Structure 1
Amino acid sequence: MTLLRLDHLAVSAQTLQEGTAWVEECLGVALAAGGKHAAMSTHNRLLSLGDLYLEVIAIDPEASDPGRARWFDLDRFEGKPRLTNWVVACADMADALRLCPDGSGQPMDLARGDLRWQMAVPIDGILPFDGLFPALIAWQGAAHPSQRLPDQGIRLRQMELVHPQAEALKIGLKPLIHDTRIKIVTGPAPAIHATFATPHGERTMA
């Protein structure tokens, strides 16, 4: 199987406004408009990171209950906005899922505007390793959000995954992705820390 590619990072928030304000303060640039995800009753705003992008995502208060657990464990999210998840792109969803731990999700066909993609979403909304295992996405067609976002000079330098079972997480990721920006370290509680190069100097987000 071809190695997977880092596609985007997700910042969860209790409200889209709160999450947007936090990211803009952290990185010193304005986020672009995103859209709504009808199947999940969520909405987002976006930021180009060059070869990937960042999304701020929250439950859409104007949407009806989706009748299932939302992705990124948003139904249980509380507290301040923070980096909670990361997403990797694959060409063959079934092939990639065979190499992932149990609980990595079932493929769902999704759309927003003219964007079409398939994503593996866990039944309970919680990805393995307390959400630190990546979500799988397979874009359908050439359209991709990063192509439409203004480039404001923000680039990911390093993403640090902190988990009590760091060695097991390393083993699980080894056959899937090799990206020198990803660092896995042992820590008392699951967390994601990311460092970015920005026009205002290096900035960190957690």
Structure 2
Amino acid sequence: MILDHFAWSSPSLDKAIADVEEWSGIRAAPGGSHPGMGTRNALLSLRDGLYLAIDAPDPGQQLVANNGARMAAQPGYNMDLFAVATDDIHAAQSILERFGLAAELRTGSRKTLHGEILKWRHLAVEPSRFGNALPHISQWETANHPSLEAPIGCTLERFQVAHPLAESVRELYAALDLTIDVVRAERPSLRVSLRGRHGVFDLPSYSA
């Protein structure tokens, strides 16, 4: 199981792309839309197999009771989640269930600007004591990984998970074979720093 991507959201995709370009010197490329979810994104490669997804409302979809509606109402940027990829999603499902987390296997897709449909399976889990420290676990069903077509020039400098139940989070990550820095904090947050052409910068998040 490996880090796959970070989902960082904004009320405005255009503003987020412009800000990241100012901070990094790299302009994220439009990735496509998520049908039915009310969102679209832009991508930056952080290395082969790892990327940043900048998510925002899609003006071409209805923004009612979906992710797009939520992002449109946000007060600013937010690091929503981190995703990991596995080649055995059923084994990952069993691990989550050992921690008392009922995980439903679902399918997901995204249409790229070139018309290609990217498909994956993922585990959907109800809100839990782990909050956003629980990784989004998926298994790709298509060969082309988004990081291979996204603009290069940025790398992951630091990823840290903060959580009041730090020891429980560490136990979960050990069971999932994930090596991630975990620190104790009053509330859960995902702290991501990138390195671009202008040096290191933090991705702001109002929930951090």
Alignment TM class, shorter chain as reference: 0.7 to 0.9
Deviations 1:115-156 (A, max 9, x none): 221222346xx576222211011111321111112322x111
Report if the CA contact (8 A) 2:11-2:72 is conserved.
no
Is there any run of 5+ residues in structure 2 with no aligned partner, and where?
A: none
**2:148 — aligned with what?**
147
- Tell me the secondary structure at the aligned position of residue 144 of structure 2: coil
**1:161 — aligned with what?**
161
Could you state the TM-score of these two structures normalised by the residue count of structure 1? 0.82
**Cα gap change, 1:76/1:116 in structure 2, threshold over 3 Å: closer, same or farther?**
same
Aligned-pair identity in percent equals 28
**2:106 — aligned with what?**
107
Question: What is the CA-CA distance between 1:31 and the residue it aligns to?
Answer: 0.6
| Alignment: residue pair count | 196
**2:121 — aligned with what?**
118
Could you state the TM-score of these two structures normalised by the residue count of structure 2? 0.81
**2:40 — aligned with what?**
43
**1:54 — aligned with what?**
52
**Cα gap change, 1:129/1:75 in structure 2, threshold over 3 Å: closer, same or farther?**
farther
Report if the CA contact (8 A) 1:108-1:118 is conserved.
yes
Q: Whose helix proportion is higher, 1 or 2?
A: 2
Report if the CA contact (8 A) 2:44-2:53 is conserved.
yes
1:133 is the counterpart of 2:156: no
For 2:175 and 2:169, locate their aligned partners in 1 and report how far apart those are by CA, in whole Å. Answer: 11
1:199 is the counterpart of 2:200: no
Report if the CA contact (8 A) 1:105-1:121 is conserved.
yes
Report if the CA contact (8 A) 2:81-2:132 is conserved.
yes
- Tell me the secondary structure at the aligned position of residue 141 of structure 1: coil
